[in-house]
Amino acid sequence: MSRSRDTVIGVLGGAQEDVVDRAAAALARRGDPHYSREDPRPKLETLYRRVTQSIEEGDSAVVADYCDALAAERLQGGFDIAELQAAFNALEEAAWAGLAPRDSPEGLRAVEAFSRALGVGRDALVTAYVRLTTRITPAVTGTAEDPTARVATESRGEVGVLTMNDPAKRNALSTRMTQDIMSGLDRLISKNVRAIVLRSAPSMSVWSSGHDINELPRGRRDPLAYDDPLERCLRAVRSVPVPVIAMVRGSVWGGAFDLVLSCDIVVADETATFAITPANLGLPYNTTGLLHFLGRLPINVVKEMFFTGTPIDATQAERWLVVNHLVASADLEPATFTLADVMAAKAPLAIAAVKEQLRVLTDYQPVAAQVYERIQGLRRQAYDSQDYLEGLAAFRERRPPNFRGN
Ligand code: KGA
């Protein structure tokens, strides 16, 4: 083993107890049902050791294999994916708090290596969890058969309906929510629906609160990478070969605005508001996502919305053509379903071809390799920064962030 790897392992070994203590305390503060019933420390210790071992052996399979098996075990124990992600986040934040403030190059090297290896474990865990839950998800979601489903799927004639229903998290676009949307789309397409309506549950005043902030990586990894569950969901909505109408009642935040813009048509009532909020989190938005906004809004409006994070109301949204139809609350459902019925009666192959043509024409923008790499460098600087960690911490602690530009 090289001397520098030796040093990293030494630093990690010395900090284990402190980091695990901090992570266990952070998990206890969350008050998740499972972590209130069991002491999370033994599992956190094992995870810490596997991460260290994978760095020591230079073999990421050590942590990936462990996390793959962990997903099955915890799913069996009834753990939600958000609870599992919370443990990874707690450990990562504790590692940064426990190692980086020593401000030594060794501490920084150790925490960077730890964060990278833990990220490999987290990816393996999420992939395994999604694989396993997809296999066991019953044929119909959102009913008594699957009370854990975040999305109810139904067909009304030739129109499919996906209803997001996770009021406790204000319809945050978590791994589970996005996975339910994607499997709902598949299910509706297999039933030959000709149009799909994406809506929130009628009782909710938030359409969606955007990316599940608790599932965002805690620094040193692209928060909106190609494989992020929300990114996959946006691609699924954009590619599904029938028109998708976003029926919007209430507020739309961050990545949920991207989801609305990824739908083909938007019908909203006067309660609808739209905000894009990465500047509140210190999060560098991805280039693909920016293209979605640029394709629909004038650049000065895009800039104002991204730079302020301030919501626009329904009237402004209509003026900027975010919404196709702004209607009174009582008319929202009839207007949406009348429109869906009209499209469902038209030629589906012709509609599918035009939808795909428009997607290709608007999604792709040639960028020189050097330019792309420079942009990725700027984004990396932002998601590697203390400000990004501060943005996430401020959300969790329900306080305004204090950004310092580093
Ligand atoms: N992710 C995870 N949990 C969320 C969440 C989110 N995006 N938004 C809300 N929650 C949780 C919140 O932590 C709280 O949990 C519960 O939902 C109710 O929230 O009960 P707990 O465990 O404490 P709250 O704030 O009490 O509800 P409210 O007063 O009705 O306010 C609703 C809103 C939506 C206004 C508020 O929760 C909020 O501001 N949420 C964050 C909105 C946001 O900024 N989203 C952007 C996420 O980022 C994103 O999509 C990207 C990719 N981006 O911006 O670049």
The one catalytic residue among 48, 285, 383, 388: 285
Query: Which pLDDT belongs to residue 224?
Result: 97
User: Is 285 tagged catalytic?
Assistant: yes
Residue 124 forms part of a structural domain: yes
The one catalytic residue among 211, 219, 289, 292: 211
Q: Are both 236 and 358 inside the same structural domain? A: yes
Q: Are both 156 and 119 inside the same structural domain? A: no
Residue 333 CB contacts under 8 Å (≥ 6 apart), including other chains: 247
Is 319 in a helix, a strand, or coil?
A: helix
| 213 CA closest ligand 1 atom index | 1
User: Is 35 tagged catalytic?
Assistant: no
Q: Which residues pair with 313 in a beta bridge?
A: 273
Q: Are both 171 and 129 inside the same structural domain? A: no
Whole-angstrom CA distances from 312 to 2, 124, 207, 391 are 55, 38, 14, 22
Gap between the Cα atoms of 211 and 281, Å rounded: 11
DSSP assignment of 143-180, as one string? STT-TT-SEEEEEETTEEEEEE--GGGTT-B-HHHHHH
Q: Tokens 């629909």 — which residue?
A: 296
| Residues having CB within 6 Å of any atom of ligand 1 | 169-170, 172, 206, 209-214, 253-255, 277-278, 280-281, 283, 285
Residue 285 forms part of a structural domain: yes
Residue 242 forms part of a structural domain: yes
Gap between the Cα atoms of 99 and 89, Å rounded: 15
Query: Which pLDDT belongs to residue 196?
Result: 98
Among 170, 171, 383, 396, which is best to mutate for testing ligand 1, by the most ligand atoms less than 8 A from CB? 170
Element (H, E) at 122: helix 105-136
Q: Are both 124 and 224 inside the same structural domain? A: no
Question: Measured in whole angstroms, how far is the alpha carbon of residue 8 from the centre of its chain?
Answer: 32
Residue 321 forms part of a structural domain: yes
| 258 CA closest ligand 1 atom index | 50
The residue nearest atom 11 of ligand 1, judged by CA position, is 169
Residue 319 forms part of a structural domain: yes
Domain count, the chain: 2
| 253 CA closest ligand 1 atom index | 45
Q: Are both 178 and 109 inside the same structural domain? A: no
Across the beta sheet with 151-156, the strand order is 151-156, 159-164, 195-200, 244-248, 265-269, 325-327
Gap between the Cα atoms of 228 and 216, Å rounded: 9
pLDDT per residue as tens digits for the range 55-111: 999 888 899 999 999 998 988 888 887 788 889 888 988 888 888 765 678 888 888
101 CA → ligand 1 middle, Å: 29
Residue 236 forms part of a structural domain: yes
The one catalytic residue among 107, 255, 289, 391: 255
Q: Which residues pair with 312 in a beta bridge?
A: 274
Domain limits for position 16: 3-136
Gap between the Cα atoms of 294 and 286, Å rounded: 12
What backbone torsions phi and psi does residue 166 show, to the nearest 5 degrees? -135, 70
Please give the DSSP secondary-structure letter assigned to residue 310.
Answer: P
What backbone torsions phi and psi does residue 200 show, to the nearest 5 degrees? -105, 165
Residue 403 forms part of a structural domain: no
211 CA → ligand 1 middle, Å: 9
5 CA → ligand 1 middle, Å: 40
Q: Are both 189 and 47 inside the same structural domain? A: no
Q: Which residues pair with 164 in a beta bridge?
A: 151, 200
Amino acid at 109: R
Q: Are both 338 and 194 inside the same structural domain? A: yes
Query: Which pLDDT belongs to residue 146?
Result: 67
Q: Are both 102 and 161 inside the same structural domain? A: no
With vertex at residue 151, the alpha carbon angle to CA 145 and CA 154, rounded to the nearest 5 degrees, is 75
Q: Are both 182 and 237 inside the same structural domain? A: yes
pTM greater than 0.85 (yes/no): no
Residue 355 forms part of a structural domain: yes
The residue nearest atom 12 of ligand 1, judged by CA position, is 169
Tokens standing for 54?
């994978």
47 CA → ligand 1 middle, Å: 28
172 CA → ligand 1 middle, Å: 7
Q: Which residues does the chain have with pLDDT short of 50?
A: 136-144
Q: Are both 296 and 253 inside the same structural domain? A: yes
The enclosing domain of 29 has a CATH number of 1.10.490.10
| 206 CA closest ligand 1 atom index | 34
User: Is 211 tagged catalytic?
Assistant: yes
Q: Are both 71 and 173 inside the same structural domain? A: no
Among 36, 178, 209, which is best to mutate for testing ligand 1, by the most ligand atoms less than 8 A from CB? 209
259 CA → ligand 1 middle, Å: 16
The residue nearest atom 38 of ligand 1, judged by CA position, is 209
Gap between the Cα atoms of 285 and 277, Å rounded: 9
Let me know: does 95 contact 115? Beta carbons within 8 Å: yes
| 169 CA closest ligand 1 atom index | 17
| 224 CA closest ligand 1 atom index | 52
Q: Are both 183 and 118 inside the same structural domain? A: no
Contacts of range 333-337, beta carbons closer than 8 Å, 24 or more positions apart? 333/247, 335/267, 336/197, 336/199, 336/245, 336/247, 336/267, 337/156, 337/159, 337/197
21 CA → ligand 1 middle, Å: 27
Residue 57 CB contacts under 8 Å (≥ 6 apart), including other chains: none
